[in-house]
Amino acid sequence: MARSNNKSQKQGSKSLKVHSEKLQRLGIIIKEMLKQPIGAIGFVLLIVLVGTAIITPYLVPKDAYENWNSPEYWKDNPKLALPSWAGALQGIKYSKTSVYEISSEEAHVYKKYGAHVISFEITETYDYDWPFTGMILYLYFAGNATASVEVDIYRPDNITVAASGLMASGNGTRFDLKGALQNDIVKFVQSMNRYLSLETNIVRSVELTFSEWPRAGTIMELMTSKIPAALRALQENVTNNALIAQWDGGKTLNQINNGINTVLDKLSDVSTAKTARDVQKIIGISESIFSRQVLEKLEEISDFAEDQLASGNVSSENKAVYKEVVNLYNRAHNLLGLMDEVFNTIRFVPNYKQLSAEEILSRNVIDVEKLLVLGNFKGLKGEYTINVTITSTAPLNFTGAKIILQGKSHGLMGTDDSGRDLWYGLIWGVRIALIVGALTSTVSAVVGLFYGSVSGYLGGFVDEAMQRVIEVFVNIPLLPIMIAIGYSRQGLSYWIVALLLAVFGWAGIARVVRSMALQMREATFVEAARCLGASTTRVLFKHIMPQMLPYIFTTMAFNVPGAIISEASLSFLGVGDKVHPTWGKILSDAQTSSAAVNNYWWWVIPPGIGIMIIGLTFVFIGMSLDRVLNPRLRRL
């Protein structure tokens, strides 16, 4: 018994010594690798990547990962928002998504004209260069509820934009206020300028709501300078037009000139106006005279000119004259609209009748025509108040509300056209890329090592038969085959992709290992082992395969980037993983939405950089490992 225990202790001590020696060798290899710059860089990057993959579940909410392809989950995020740090690089302060939770205690409940009313408001100061891009409202009630809802947004420039005509039905009613705000802006434009044709669809109404609106100038500037100057220029062009001069024997031209002169005289009275009401009368009378004595006359001649141009029976000389008449009418039409904007600007000022002329003349007039085509938005800075009013014929058990102002920037990496947070996709993509690369390279290396060693060591008929199998796999076109498989299965999960890449990728490794095994089987240490009675299995696993490990480890490192790029390529082509957020899938979605063409750089560049970094990491590790394990390379 004592001898048996001593024997076990000796064997255990020998085993520990062997493991200790292996660890020492591994430590030496790592130290040698770290002495090389590319090896050190590769190890640092690998540690960062592996660490990121390990903590991914803590960085990415589980719901976000599971609902990556669910538009419902991401509906409250802004679409195509820039990364939050992009503004710092561009010198622009982009709006960031703001969420306001309102409790039932913050709401004001009262009755008005027999109706039950609930109202609440938030007041906030914004100083963004680029305004919010979307606005969402949630209302929560205990039980079923039906009520009308109105949202009033009081801007710093005393303009109010309202979203009205909304109906809440049930608990958790969601309102996307873009449409309602658009309707109110259209109404505002129509009320400001009756002569403006609304042919432009306002699709970015929330951005307009929080933007500076273009100004035509102050009422004083328009009535004393801009409008008179435009009238005189119009009068000069009208007088010089041959068709207008000859129309009705010149009577029409006289009437137009008299009308313009009368308007100019009337506008000059603004210098003696005492009250805002006096200013409004002056512009109102001027507008009426201009409409009757100028615009109507020009419209008659313009209609004739358009008919002649449409018929095509017009000489080249007359064509220019007729086109000028149409242009003059359009200028007169726009000028009348500008007068209407001045008149309505005064009309919409609260209690304007109590103001002096000086006070009203300093008011700015909004250029509603430019407002409709505004493209480069500039945030209106200052204090905003958002008031929500809920009205119902029956009592409401209001439990809370939520207002979401969607920013132009969102999260660390922005969002795509579905509102998905690209940061989550990029982080989870690290884990998937490492799994695909590690699984593919490990499986293909192990299979190739075993298959090639057996083939080379046994030789003869077995070697010939095994080589024919290798030749079949080597000559299979990998990418077309995987595209065909993926298309037939409506996509492949990244696990299946990794296994398929390993199945088709081991043959090249096996061929190289076979050539090494053919040399080693004639080596002295292998002959010695056979003479001592070692079995074929022992010779392969104890003497031949360990000699292959330097090549295998280096090959594994070099094969990881290829596997990752292959998976990304399949996903980019639409036959890869369609469920999980892989880097290739993100790039595929970007390509589908023409992200590169539309300059959505944050959607395209980060996944590409991720693939590049993870590829370089394993290339650096493979190069440094090759130099350490290959003495000839180390000498060179």
Region 304-308: mean pLDDT is 89
Q: What is the pLDDT of residues 44-92, one digit of tens each?
A: 999 999 999 999 888 888 899 889 999 999 999 999 999 999 999 989 9
Distance from C-alpha of 583 to C-alpha of 611, rounded to nearest angstrom? 8
Distance from C-alpha of 17 to C-alpha of 363, rounded to nearest angstrom? 92
Per-residue pLDDT band for 635 (boundaries 50, 70, 90) equals: very low
Q: Where in the chain is the domain with CATH 2.60.120?
A: 86-212+376-406
Tell me which of 51-60, 314-323, 398-407 is least confident.
314-323
Q: What is the pLDDT of residues 481-510, one digit of tens each?
A: 888 888 888 878 889 899 988 988 888 899
Distance from C-alpha of 320 to C-alpha of 318, rounded to nearest angstrom? 5
Tell me how crowded residue 20 is: count the other CB atoms within 10 A of its CB.
10
Region 183-194: mean pLDDT is 88
Sheet of 98-103: strand order equals: 98-103, 398-406, 134-141, 173-176
Assigned CATH class of 217-366: mainly alpha
Distance from C-alpha of 461 to C-alpha of 48, rounded to nearest angstrom? 49
pLDDT score at 27: 66
Q: Where in the chain is the domain with CATH 1.10.3720.10?
A: 25-66+417-635
Helix (H, G, I), strand (E, B) or coil at 259: helix
Q: What is the pLDDT of residues 127-168, one digit of tens each?
A: 999 999 999 999 998 877 788 999 999 999 888 999 988 988
Q: Which residues have a Cβ under 8 Å from the Cβ of 402 and sit 6 or more positions away?
A: 99, 100, 101, 102, 136, 137, 138, 140
- The fold of the 25-66+417-635 domain, in CATH, is MetI-like fold (1.10.3720)
Tell me which of 23-37, 109-123, 571-585 is least confident.
23-37
φ/ψ bin of 170: left (φ > 0), alpha (ψ from -120 to 50), beta (otherwise):
left
Q: Residue 161's beta-bridge partner residues?
A: 153
Q: What is the pLDDT of residues 350-389, one digit of tens each?
A: 888 899 999 999 999 998 888 877 667 889 999 999 999 9
Tell me how crowded residue 203 is: count the other CB atoms within 10 A of its CB.
10
Distance from C-alpha of 128 to C-alpha of 300, rounded to nearest angstrom? 49
pLDDT score at 275: 93
As a whole number, the mean pLDDT across the chain is 87
DSSP state of 542: I
| pLDDT higher than 70, residue 624 | yes
Per-residue pLDDT band for 477 (boundaries 50, 70, 90) equals: confident
| pLDDT higher than 50, residue 636 | no
Q: Where in the chain is the domain with CATH 1.20.1440.60?
A: 217-366
| pLDDT higher than 80, residue 12 | no
Distance from C-alpha of 447 to C-alpha of 104, rounded to nearest angstrom? 65
- The fold of the 86-212+376-406 domain, in CATH, is Jelly Rolls (2.60.120)
pLDDT score at 549: 83
Q: Which residues have a Cβ under 8 Å from the Cβ of 251 and sit 6 or more positions away?
A: none
Per-residue pLDDT band for 308 (boundaries 50, 70, 90) equals: confident
Distance from C-alpha of 170 to C-alpha of 505, rounded to nearest angstrom? 58
Number of H helices, E strands in the chain: 26, 11
